[in-house]
Structure 1
């Protein structure tokens, strides 16, 4: 647990710290273990999905590489922006709703390697997921020690919607930039934090949460030091919102409404920020009239995320992960439309799992058999539900 008044908390001290020369190799080894565990659980999940898809008479590769939003990103990578899909609910769907970093990466990979767009998307997502796992471990280790860092990565890889981390989606890319930006903030490296936040802002609309963490932390530091801060802080804070802001303004200019054009695109997708009114109306309909399994599960996961954020507040974690998770949760709770996708929107909010990771790390030390059973249970639920979402649910992820 960190001190209440600390913005950039130091790493939790071990009872008997290793000599400095050994600390970095040891941390690297622990990070390698965390990434290896993550890849193991996700590859097992892909194997389960492939088996379920085979039993359903479907091929797993198109399901992973060309489902829902993946198709839009592939189209942008191949043909550029400017294509709408006719829709009556509530209006035409424009590809301008999708941020540009992932399509740019797709074009780069297909230009450099002899692979198609779908395979390139999977290569990008799987690589980004591994980088994200390393960053998540680094953040968890800095805050609560290496055992918690490993547990945090394991829990993230076994979330009910973790199947998305194995698909050609943008959540792994955002999480990779977010995790390492938060780590840079905790380490006091403002330039890296700001640059990575800018890239996160080019990856997804809710990438704005990373910039919010940088700006809030910088503002607190300026206040604490009464303005006597280095130019690196000011530069990092200036860089942080550039990616998100630049794309939103570019879409606005293209639509003829500099400040409102992007938000009009999102409105036509049925996605607006209404302080949760649309979500409450949807929950009311779902509870009164019943609906398919995906929606109550999404409601359960959003409620769980809210409870976990309350635990973060009680644990008094440092400001960067607190603001980052809080903004992601606010966007998920306050945004209307695509209720079934809210758990996916929260996938990058890995700091929400810190209280559970601490508990799992302690259990693994004192009652390893109990921890093993718990992880195996989580894995079974994650694999089965992930396969159901992709193969059978027929609901937007």
Structure 2
């Protein structure tokens, strides 16, 4: 396989790449990324503000919606008491906290230990900090490939996703995306040990952490002779240790061996069937009224994801990014249950946004700002409506 040249711009990229790397000094690097980070913070602040205004008339607390419901409660309980909590449902199935990977609860426990914050607020602080780090990582990857203007657009596109409000919740998506983005950036710049260490941490955050490990392996394999350097080998060995270690620990704790974690996920209904259950779910939405509109929306959404991935392939994104986003998409769409959570599960697949970022960067600044501003308002409205309704499963 030919050596992967990360400095050769895509022949289809409309925006020229910067000639140099990000400035070496941290202050200069932060200044370079400032437009993306300030824009990202403004989008997320708009989402939280609108959520608070939307929730108040109904007597609901935006703080509670962001930090004390759904998966946030499971993470907070692990942080406070460790693993061991389980809930038996009326149908006899058992939901156990072993389905939740440990890095976010560990950070929540650390935050509560070194500050006066309760676990819920430590989780929010962790998530908000990680979301900024994730936006910076998205910017860094896009900046290396397509230049600063497209990179700013990429970070803002990630902020204005319809389910972007999850980035402001005490959930693990922001933390995972931050680790994944910076691991991919380290792999693109051939900092192998850093890439492997961050992939290891991503594997301790979410089950899809193996997508980051696979991307590091792909980058090392495409590095030519460098693939056999001790740094590349060490990075490749480190990458899967987080996910593999937790899965093995769960297997030992449950007595299920290598299949123990799969049994835990199976109790939650989170098996993998290649998308058959999701296809049946979408088809069922097409048979009635008004559910037919939901079914059509699902089909359009899946078609958009597939189209974006094809665009990424045609624009010759670096192989590590294609491997990473391909695995994330396959696992998200191929899961058996929790169909409403699929947009949230797809959120870490930020390389899919890069073709759109390049297209936005072609536009004059007022036009691109108008597009992103409308998307930000739409994302904030949807997030407020969503969390005040059924919310993320």
TM-score surpassing 0.5?
A: yes
Residues 76, 95 of structure 1: 8 Å contact kept: yes
- Distance, in Å, in 1 between the alignment partners of 2:231 and 2:24 is 30
Q: Which residue of 1 aligns with 2:191?
A: 189
1:379 paired to 2:376:
yes
Q: Which residue of 2 aligns with 1:129?
A: 131
Using the TM superposition, give the Cα deviation of residue 16 of structure 1 relative to its aligned residue in structure 2, in angstroms.
8.5
Q: Which residue of 1 aligns with 2:6?
A: 9
What are the superposed Cα offsets for residues 97-146 of structure 1, whole Å, 9 maximum, x if unpaired?
Answer: 00011111111000110011111111000000011111111100000001
- Distance, in Å, in 2 between the alignment partners of 1:72 and 1:296 is 33
Residues 6, 145 of structure 2: 8 Å contact kept: yes
Using the TM superposition, give the Cα deviation of residue 277 of structure 1 relative to its aligned residue in structure 2, in angstroms.
1.0
Using the TM superposition, give the Cα deviation of residue 54 of structure 1 relative to its aligned residue in structure 2, in angstroms.
1.1
- Distance, in Å, in 2 between the alignment partners of 1:130 and 1:179 is 12
Partner SS state of residue 336, structure 2 = coil
1:320 paired to 2:320:
yes
- Distance, in Å, in 2 between the alignment partners of 1:20 and 1:200 is 24
Q: Which residue of 2 aligns with 1:370?
A: 367
Using the TM superposition, give the Cα deviation of residue 57 of structure 1 relative to its aligned residue in structure 2, in angstroms.
2.1
- Distance, in Å, in 2 between the alignment partners of 1:29 and 1:99 is 34
- Distance, in Å, in 2 between the alignment partners of 1:29 and 1:75 is 38
What are the superposed Cα offsets for residues 296-316 of structure 1, whole Å, 9 maximum, x if unpaired?
Answer: 655543432221111101111
Residue ranges of structure 1 left out of the alignment (5+ in a row): none
Q: Which residue of 1 aligns with 2:121?
A: 119
Mapping for residues 352-371 of structure 1, pairs under 5 Å:
352-363=352-363, 367-371=364-368
Please say which of residues 29-38 and 4-13 is displaced more in the overlay. Answer: 4-13
Q: Which residue of 1 aligns with 2:68?
A: 66
Partner SS state of residue 287, structure 2 = helix
Q: 1:14 to 1:29 in 2, by over 3 A?
A: farther
Q: Which residue of 2 aligns with 1:141?
A: 143
- Distance, in Å, in 2 between the alignment partners of 1:255 and 1:8 is 45
Q: Which residue of 1 aligns with 2:257?
A: 258
Q: 1:206 to 1:15 in 2, by over 3 A?
A: closer
Partner SS state of residue 348, structure 2 = coil
- Distance, in Å, in 2 between the alignment partners of 1:280 and 1:166 is 30
Q: 1:130 to 1:90 in 2, by over 3 A?
A: farther
What are the superposed Cα offsets for residues 63-83 of structure 1, whole Å, 9 maximum, x if unpaired?
Answer: 010121001001111111111
Residues 270, 336 of structure 1: 8 Å contact kept: yes
Residues 191, 236 of structure 1: 8 Å contact kept: yes
- Distance, in Å, in 2 between the alignment partners of 1:85 and 1:292 is 34
Q: Which residue of 2 aligns with 1:391?
A: 388
Q: Which residue of 2 aligns with 1:285?
A: 284
Q: 1:190 to 1:50 in 2, by over 3 A?
A: same
Q: 1:332 to 1:198 in 2, by over 3 A?
A: same
Q: 1:296 to 1:340 in 2, by over 3 A?
A: farther
Residues 157, 357 of structure 2: 8 Å contact kept: yes
Partner SS state of residue 222, structure 2 = helix
- Distance, in Å, in 2 between the alignment partners of 1:20 and 1:57 is 47
Residue ranges of structure 2 left out of the alignment (5+ in a row): 10-14
- Distance, in Å, in 1 between the alignment partners of 2:17 and 2:268 is 53
- Distance, in Å, in 2 between the alignment partners of 1:370 and 1:248 is 47
TM-score (norm 1): 0.91
- Distance, in Å, in 2 between the alignment partners of 1:19 and 1:56 is 50
Q: 1:73 to 1:119 in 2, by over 3 A?
A: same
Q: Which residue of 1 aligns with 2:270?
A: 271
- Distance, in Å, in 2 between the alignment partners of 1:160 and 1:19 is 32
Using the TM superposition, give the Cα deviation of residue 91 of structure 1 relative to its aligned residue in structure 2, in angstroms.
1.5
TM-score (norm 2): 0.92
Mapping for residues 165-314 of structure 1, pairs under 5 Å:
165-221=167-223, 224-225=224-225, 229-289=228-288, 291=291, 300-314=300-314
- Distance, in Å, in 1 between the alignment partners of 2:375 and 2:157 is 8
Q: 1:193 to 1:22 in 2, by over 3 A?
A: closer
What are the superposed Cα offsets for residues 246-274 of structure 1, whole Å, 9 maximum, x if unpaired?
Answer: 00000001111211010000011001111
Q: 1:20 to 1:306 in 2, by over 3 A?
A: closer
Q: Give the length in aligned residue pairs.
A: 387
Residues 190, 232 of structure 1: 8 Å contact kept: yes
Q: 1:178 to 1:228 in 2, by over 3 A?
A: closer
Using the TM superposition, give the Cα deviation of residue 86 of structure 1 relative to its aligned residue in structure 2, in angstroms.
1.3
